[in-house]
Chain A
Amino acid sequence: MLTRLLSGDTPRSSLLTVLLLIVLVSLAFAPFLFPGTKSLETAARICIFIVLVASYDLLLGYAGIVSFAHTMFFGIGAYGTSLALSATGASYWSLLWGTAAGAVVAAVFALAIGLFSLRVKAIFFAMVTLAVASAFAVLVSQMSWLTGGEDGLNYKIPRELTPAFKLVKDKVFDVRINGKLLAYYLVFFASAILFLVMLRIVNSPFGRTLKAVRDNAFRAEAIGYRVVWYRTAATVLSAVMAALAGSLLAIWLRYTGPATTLSMEIMIDILLMVVIGGMGTLYGAVLGATLFILAQTYLQNLMGVAAEATEAVPLLSSLVAPERWLLWLGVLFVLSVYFFPAGIVGRLREGARGR
Chain B
Amino acid sequence: MSEQAIKPRIEKIPLSEQVFRKLPIFLVPLLALAGLIAIGNPASWLTLTVAGLAMGMMVFIMASGLTVVFGLMDVINFGHGAFVTVGAFVGFTVLAWVAGWTASPSVLLNLAAVLVAILAAMLVTGLLGYAFERVIVMPVYGDHLKQILVTMGGLIVAQQMIHVVWGPDEMHLSRPEALQGSVVLGEAAIEKYRLVAVGIGLALFLAMRHVLKKTKIGLLVRAGVENGEMVEALGYRIRRLFLLVFMTGSALAGLGGVMWGLYQETITAHMGSDIMVLVFIVVIIGGLGSVEGCFIGALLVGLLANYTAFLAPKVALISTIALMVAILMWRPQGLYPVVKAK
Contacts and interface: CB of A to CB of B under 8 A. Distances in A.
B164 A338 contact: no
B212 interface: no
A324 B156 contact: no
Contacts of A29: none
A135 B157 contact: no
Given A124-B284, A131-B324, A330 B157 contact: yes
A275 interface: yes
A120 B333 contact: yes
Contacts of A66: 145, 148-149
Main secondary structure of the interface of B (DSSP, over half): helix
B317 A127 contact: no
Nearest to A120: B332
Contacts of B160: 324, 326-327, 330
B288 to A, nearest CB: 8
B76 interface: yes
Interface in A57-84: 60, 64, 66
A275 B149 contact: yes
Given A318-B164, A330-B153, A334-B150, A142 B321 contact: no
Given A324-B163, A337-B149, A268 B277 contact: no
A124 B144 CA distance: 11
B273 interface: yes
Contacts of A341: 146
**A122, A135, A315 — which one has the most chain B CB atoms within 10 A of its CB?**
A135
Given A319-B164, A324-B164, A127 B149 contact: no
Interface in A302-344: 315, 318-319, 323-324, 326-327, 329-331, 333-334, 337-338, 341
A318 B160 CA distance: 11
A314 to B, nearest CB: 11
Interface in B124-148: 136, 139-140, 144-146, 148
Contacts of B318: 135, 139
Nearest to A119: B332
B124 to A, nearest CB: 18
Interface string A101-129: 00000000000000011011111101110
Contacts of A60: 145
B314 interface: yes
A178 interface: no
Contact of A334 (B148, B157, B277, B288): B157
Nearest to B315: A139
B281 A131 contact: yes
A127 B164 contact: no
**Interface of A, helix, strand, loop or mixed by DSSP:** helix
Interface residues of A, number: 41
Nearest to A339: B139
Contacts of B321: 131-132, 135
Contact of A130 (B140, B144, B280): B280
Given A128-B284, A334-B150, A337-B149, A123 B144 contact: yes
Contact of B154 (A64, A132, A334): A334
Nearest to B333: A120
B224 to A, nearest CB: 19
B328 interface: yes
B43 interface: no
A60 B144 CA distance: 12
Contacts of B150: 334, 337-338
Contact of B314 (A64, A142, A264): A142
A23 interface: no
B179 interface: no
B168 interface: yes
A275 B152 CA distance: 12
Nearest to A122: B144
Contacts of A212: none
B325 interface: yes
A271 B164 contact: no
B161 interface: yes
B283 interface: yes
A323 B163 contact: yes
Contacts of A120: 328, 332-333
Given A127-B284, A334-B150, A337-B140, 4 more contacts: A66-B149, A120-B333, A326-B160, A337-B150
Per CB-CB distance, the 9 closest pairs between chain A and chain B, nearest first, are A327-B160, A330-B156, A334-B153, A330-B157, A127-B280, A333-B153, A66-B148, A134-B277, A135-B317
Interface of B: 76, 78, 136, 139-140, 144-146, 148-150, 152-154, 156-157, 160-161, 163-164, 168, 273-274, 276-277, 280-281, 283-284, 288, 314, 317-318, 320-321, 324-325, 328, 332-333
15 contacts: A64-B145, A66-B149, A123-B76, A128-B324, A130-B280, A134-B317, A135-B320, A138-B317, A139-B318, A319-B164, A323-B163, A330-B153, A334-B136, A337-B149, A338-B150
